[in-house]
Structures are given as C-alpha cells and as structure tokens.
Amino acid sequence: MSDRGEIAALLLADVKDGVPAESNRDALGLALALSFPRELIRVAVLAEDALSSARKCSEMLGADVLSVSGEGLSPYSGPAFLAALTDMAERLTPRFMILPHSSLGMDLAPALAARLSAACVTGVSRVEDAGLGPVLARVSADGGREEIIRPLSALTVLTALPGSFPVEAPEKPGAVSEIARPVLPPAGVRFLGCEEGPAADLALAAADVIVCAGRGVGSPENLALVEELAGLFPRSAVAGSRPVCDAGWLPANRQVGVTGATVAPRLYIACGVSGAFQHLAGMSGAKTIVAVNRDPSAPIFSAAHVGVAEDLVTFIPLLIDALKK
Ligand SMILES: Cc1cc2nc3c(=O)[nH]c(=O)nc-3n(C[C@H](O)[C@H](O)[C@H](O)COP(=O)(O)OP(=O)(O)OC[C@H]3O[C@@H](n4cnc5c(N)ncnc54)[C@H](O)[C@@H]3O)c2cc1C
C-alpha cells in the first residue's frame, strides 16, 4: 500500500493512433500484483487531445484515467513527456510509475527515474511479497538468470514484461478527469516527421506457442520444417533470430530480441538459435523454453527448460511425427 500520496501507482498509457495497446493490461496487472486496489491506481493518457483515448483506456482497464491534453504531446516527444510526467509525479507522489514496455518506455523510463531520483526496474516478470515491501523479479540482461530486486527509493519506475501479469476484463469503466497542460515544444529540438517501421507481428504477441528459427536452420528451405512444427499447435507463430530476419528468410517483424519483439508465450521452441543475450532478452519470459541445437555448449541451453542436443534436420521431423501420433 502507498505511504506516499493518495495514488499508489501512476501508469502511463500506451496509445497508438488513438487506440490503447494491449500492453496497458500488463501495466495494470503489475500494479494489481503490487497489491494496490484499483482505487489507488491512476492511468495517465498524454496527447495533444487526449480525451477520447482516455475514455477508451478507462473502458479497457476499469481504472480511473487522467486525460492530459497539451501542445507538444502528439506525436510522442521524450522531453515533453518527461516534463509532463515529472510534474505529475511531484503533484501526485505515487510510489510506482509504470511505463509501457516498448521503445517509448525504454526511452522514457531511465530518463524519468534519473530526473526524479527514483529506482528503475524494467521488464518486471513477477512480484514477490516479502513482507518488507514488494520484491520484484526480472530477467537479467543476458537472459540467463532471474534477478530479484527490492527497490529502496521512495519512487520506483517500472515496466512490465509482456504477458507476465494477465488481468480479467473490468466490470465497469473508471472515471476520467481532464487536465489541461500547456507543454512548450522543447528548445533545441525540431520535430521533422515520423516514419512507420516494421510493426512487430501481432501474431507473435497473441501466440501461445512460438517456434523460432535461428541461423542453424541453414537455409530458407529448412524453414518449412519450422513452419510445419508450428502448424501442429493451435495459436502458434513462427519467429526468427536477427540473422534469419536480416537475411530475408523471415520478415523483419518476426524478429525476437532487443531490437525485435519481446514475447512471453507458454511454449518457445528455439531451433538452431545460439542464445546470444540480445536474443534471450526478447524471449526469456516464455513459460517453457525448449532448445534444439547440435552444439551441447550453446548458451541457449542455460536458458532452456528442455534441451535437445541434436541436429534439427534430424530431430524436428521426428518430433513432428511424434506430435502427429
Ligand atoms: C545491437 C545488437 C542488437 C541485436 N539484436 C538482436 C535481436 O533483437 N535478436 C537476435 O536474435 N539477435 C540480435 N542480435 C544478434 C545477436 O548478437 C546474435 O548474433 C544472434 O542472435 C545470433 O543468431 P542465431 O542464434 O540465429 O545464430 P548463430 O549465433 O549463428 O547460432 C546458430 C546456432 O545454430 C546451431 N546450429 C547450426 N546448425 C545446426 C543444426 N543443423 N541443428 C541444430 N543446431 C544447429 C549452432 O550450434 C549455433 O548455436 C543483436 C546484436 C547486436 C550487436
């Protein structure tokens, strides 16, 4: 519970083109896992004209929403968001601020924490209640270990690992309050435009089972094996490591890792993936990881729950036959 202001957790909503992202449920789930009732949670929607998105967020989350409209808040601008959130943190004195686990959150969370002298824990995958205040678990940057952290600061800035904190649909929407906040465009920065990059494939976020092709698949032809294996599971998707996507064997929006998607499916089958930390950082939140690699010393085996040290061209057809039976 909060020993600071009336608000225990302030969430920054993730909204794209006026539509709240599914990841907002992860942030709410984390706030609830911190044992805060919905009455002590506020969701901030920041945009030039935030009201309609704020209403959608209140319906999606069933939490009270602060609609913060101001010049300079659309499109996203790091300095403008930083100024607005710093101001809100000082007025509302929350104990936790939960930002989206996205490129926006990666940009803003460390800067906000530094500005507010707060702790910053990104990619939280679990909350342990150790009696002396929340203890948080996150996957380490090299993906192979779980770090257990007790924040000691008055305020902690967090992001939630996608898929780690499922929440039920709310029974009713929360209240929406409007705050007008003139934000001056930051000095020394001129916004020139925004170009769409390859969006992360929605199939990856929704999949229960992901079969990932690493460079060890050897050729685009062998991808057929990976695709056939994935096709045997309902709600499945095929992903790739960076070399596979860079080579054009799979589209860029199928890449998993620090410069690709972060996923947390129930089952992740890594085929011919070495387990570089840049890859592990995107998939270590999977509930069960199976690795198929012909090199028994490959780092992926330290992250895997089940390891198969075998040539994938030999093993995957056997697995497919077994699953078909
Ligand atoms: C700034 C930066 C960002 C990066 N971002 C990402 C990212 O987002 N995602 C990402 O994936 N990488 C990323 N990388 C690249 C990363 O460092 C690794 O190079 C990459 O993950 C390796 O991909 P891989 O495991 O498919 O290939 P490799 O490292 O080449 O591994 C292939 C593996 O397949 C095994 N193998 C080979 N043949 C077979 C076979 N027949 N059967 C079974 N096993 C076999 C080998 O033993 C080996 O372990 C990034 C790198 C940098 C510097």
Separation of CA 146 and ligand 1 centre (Å): 21
Which of ligand 1's atoms lies nearest the C-alpha of 311? 42
Quote the pLDDT of residue 301: 95
> 74 and 164 share a domain?
yes
> 216 and 170 share a domain?
no
Question: Which protein residue's CA is at the shortest distance from atom 53 of ligand 1?
Answer: 278
> 156 and 30 share a domain?
yes
Which of ligand 1's atoms lies nearest the C-alpha of 259? 8
CATH number of the domain encompassing residue 248: 3.40.50.1220
Is residue 138 domain-resident? yes
> 157 and 212 share a domain?
no
> 173 and 265 share a domain?
no
Quote the pLDDT of residue 213: 98
From residue 189, give the alpha-carbon distance in Å to each of 25, 71, 87, 184: 33, 15, 21, 11
Is residue 197 domain-resident? no
Beta-carbon contacts of 48 under 8 Å, excluding residues fewer than 6 positions away, are 69, 70, 71, 72, 73, 74
Which of ligand 1's atoms lies nearest the C-alpha of 273? 25
In terms of C-beta density within 10 A (0-12 exposed, 13-18 middle, 19 or more buried), how is residue 124 classed?
A: buried
Question: Which protein residue's CA is at the shortest distance from atom 29 of ligand 1?
Answer: 274
Is residue 300 domain-resident? yes
> 107 and 246 share a domain?
no
Quote the pLDDT of residue 199: 57
Cα torsion through 212, 215, 220, 221, rounded to 10? -90
> 151 and 232 share a domain?
no
The total number of structural domains in the chain stands at: 2
> 55 and 159 share a domain?
yes
> 220 and 310 share a domain?
yes
Quote the pLDDT of residue 142: 60
Q: Are 68 and 181 in contact (CB under 8 A)?
A: yes
Q: Are 150 and 129 in contact (CB under 8 A)?
A: no
The Cα–Cα gap between 257 and 294 comes to 22
The Cα–Cα gap between 27 and 31 comes to 6
Q: Are 272 and 215 in contact (CB under 8 A)?
A: yes
Is residue 36 domain-resident? yes
> 30 and 174 share a domain?
yes
Is residue 194 domain-resident? no
Complete edge-to-edge strand list for the sheet that includes strand 9-12 = 146-149, 134-139, 119-129, 156-160, 96-99, 9-12, 41-47, 64-69, 176-180
Separation of CA 295 and ligand 1 centre (Å): 13
Is residue 44 domain-resident? yes
62: domain range?
Answer: 9-180
CATH number of the domain encompassing residue 27: 3.40.50.620
Is residue 252 domain-resident? yes
Q: Are 10 and 34 in contact (CB under 8 A)?
A: no
> 170 and 52 share a domain?
yes
Is residue 1 domain-resident? no
Residues having CB within 6 Å of any atom of ligand 1: 214-216, 218, 241-244, 255-260, 272-274, 276, 278-279, 282, 292-295, 298, 311-313
Quote the pLDDT of residue 1: 41
Q: Are 43 and 25 in contact (CB under 8 A)?
A: no
- pLDDT by 10-residue block (mean), the chain, 325 residues: 70 93 92 92 95 97 95 85 93 96 90 97 85 81 76 95 86 93 66 67 84 96 94 94 95 90 93 93 91 97 96 97 93
Which of 292, 293, 308 is the best mutation target for the ligand 1 pocket, counting ligand atoms within 8 Å of the beta carbon and taking the most? 293
> 162 and 308 share a domain?
no
Two tokens at 157? 């800035």
Separation of CA 242 and ligand 1 centre (Å): 7
Quote the pLDDT of residue 2: 43
Cα torsion through 1, 23, 162, 204, rounded to 10? 170
Which of ligand 1's atoms lies nearest the C-alpha of 257? 8
Beta strands in the chain (DSSP E): 9-12, 15-16, 19-20, 41-47, 64-69, 96-99, 119-129, 134-139, 146-149, 156-160, 176-180, 209-213, 236-240, 267-271, 288-292, 306-308
Residue 208 has a CB neighbour count (10 Å cut-off) of: 14
Separation of CA 35 and ligand 1 centre (Å): 39
